[in-house]
Amino acid sequence: MKATFRTPKTYKGWIGLFAILTVVLLGSWPVIPLLNHEAILFGMPILMFWSVVLIFLTTGVLMALNKMGVND
């Protein structure tokens, strides 16, 4: 099977791609070292709190994209 990269064809598709890439970048290298401290926030280290925020952010973005009908 030949693997190809497909780009979005609609405005909603581009918004969805940008939203997902933004969430992925928020959980990757440039952000993580900034949050890797011993300080406690809501009873958790800041990095653990950020991980929980990312889970809810990812879920919210995917729910919003589903409501927009991006997967149609």
Q: How confident is the model at residue 72 (pLDDT cuts 50, 70, 90)?
A: low
Each residue's pLDDT tens digit, 5-21? 888 888 999 999 999 99
Each residue's pLDDT tens digit, 16-50? 999 999 999 999 988 888 888 889 988 999 999 99
Please report the pLDDT score of residue 17 as a whole number.
92
Going from N- to C-terminal start, the domains of the chain cover 13-68
Cβ-count burial of 51 within 10 angstroms (0-12 exposed, 13-18 middle, 19+ buried)?
middle
Strand ranges for 1-72 from DSSP E: 40-41, 44-45
Residue 54: is its pLDDT beyond 90? Answer: yes
CB 54 within 8 A of CB 23: yes
